[in-house]
Amino acid sequence: MLNGNLEAFWRSRLSKKAPVARIGYALWVTDTTKLKHVIQSGDTHFWNNKGFAYWEFMARSTVVNLATGLERGGFRGTFYK
């Protein structure tokens, strides 16, 4: 997984235009300006003609949905080490 670097992994998947990479990269990017640059300089069709605000929102809502689902499933831990 590129030496455990999830940002680099998802960036590599973006270059292959893997649809799930849009969310993966948005979740693991270390700086939102990088996400904004990748979206603005990328293929608009691949990004579904949606801009930075949409994809940032999708990443945030994914985290909320994961947390909610885990909590409802009885998980009482943390996402962080």
**Whole-number Å distance between alpha carbons of 37 and 32:** 9
Q: For residue 62, count other CB atoms closer than 10 A to its CB.
A: 14
Sign of the C-alpha dihedral computed for residues 38, 43, 47 and 52 taken in this order: positive
Report the residue count for the chain.
81
Of the candidates 64, 63, 59, 67, which has an alpha carbon nearest to the alpha carbon of residue 25?
A: 59
What global pTM score does this model have? 0.76
| Torsions phi, psi for 3 (to 5 deg) | 60, 35
What tens digit of pLDDT does each residue of 7-33 get? 999 999 999 999 999 999 999 999 999
Element (H, E) at 64: helix 52-72
Q: Quick check: 60 pLDDT over 80?
A: yes
User: Is the model's pLDDT at 79 over the cut of 70?
Assistant: no
Q: Is the confidence at residue 68, as pLDDT, over 90? A: no
